C-alpha cells in the first residue's frame, strides 16, 4: 500500500480492511440506488416522454421551487464528481452509472431529448416497462 494512503488510515488498518470497506460501500450504494431509481420510474406518468404537460413540475411557492431546483442540481453535480472519482482505475464502484444519475438530475438544455433518446433504447425500455409492470404501472408510451 502506498505510504500516503497508509498514513491516512486508522491505526491497525491493512489493505484488507480498505478492500472490505470499499466493497461494502460499492454494494451499499448499488443496493440503495436500485430502489430509488425504481421509485422514481414508477412515479412518472406513462405519457411523460410525449406529453409536455406531464413534464411540468408541481406548482409550488416560487421560493420552494427554486430551493428544490438548487438542491437537485447540487446533488446532481455531487453525483457527477463522485462518479468521476469512482470511474478511476482501482476505485471500486459504479462510476458511469453514478455520473448518469447526476446528469439526469441537473438542469440543462436538451435534457428531455437526451432522456427520451436514452429510454427508447430497446433494452432500457424493456427493462423499465417490466419494472413498471411489476408495480402495476402502465408501460411508457413512446
Residue 103 lies in a domain: yes
By residue range, what is the domain housing residue 42? 14-134
- pTM value is 0.61
pLDDT band at 107 (very low <50, low <70, confident <90, very high): confident
On the question of pLDDT at 47 being above 80, the answer is yes
Residues 40-61 have a mean pLDDT of: 77
Residue 32 lies in a domain: yes
On the question of pLDDT at 100 being above 80, the answer is no
Residue 5 lies in a domain: no
Residue 50 lies in a domain: yes
- The number of domains in the chain is 1
pLDDT score at 125: 86
Residue 65 lies in a domain: yes
Residue 29 lies in a domain: yes
Residue 128 lies in a domain: yes
* 6/15 Cα distance (integer angstroms): 9
Of all residues in the chain, the percent with pLDDT exceeding 70 is 92
What average pLDDT does the structure give for the chain? 83
On the question of pLDDT at 109 being above 70, the answer is yes
Residue 114 lies in a domain: yes
Phi-psi region of 129 (alpha: psi -120 to 50; beta: other; left: phi over 0): alpha
Amino acid at each position: 500500500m502506498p505510504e500516503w494512503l497508509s498514513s491516512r488510515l486508522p491505526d491497525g488498518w491493512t489493505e484488507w480492511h480498505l478492500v472490505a470497506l470499499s466493497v461494502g460501500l460499492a454494494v451499499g450504494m448499488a443496493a440503495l440506488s436500485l430502489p430509488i431509481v425504481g421509485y422514481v420510474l414508477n412515479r412518472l406518468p406513462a405519457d411523460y416522454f410525449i406529453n409536455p404537460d406531464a413534464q411540468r413540475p408541481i406548482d409550488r411557492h416560487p421560493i420552494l421551487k427554486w430551493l428544490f431546483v438548487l438542491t437537485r442540481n447540487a446533488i446532481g453535480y455531487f453525483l457527477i464528481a463522485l462518479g468521476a472519482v469512482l470511474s478511476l482505475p482501482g476505485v471500486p464502484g459504479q462510476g458511469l452509472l453514478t455520473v448518469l444519475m447526476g446528469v439526469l438530475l441537473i438542469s440543462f438544455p436538451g435534457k428531455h431529448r437526451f432522456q427520451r433518446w436514452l429510454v427508447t433504447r430497446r433494452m432500457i425500455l424493456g427493462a423499465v416497462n417490466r419494472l413498471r409492470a411489476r408495480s402495476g404501472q402502465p408501460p411508457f408510451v413512446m
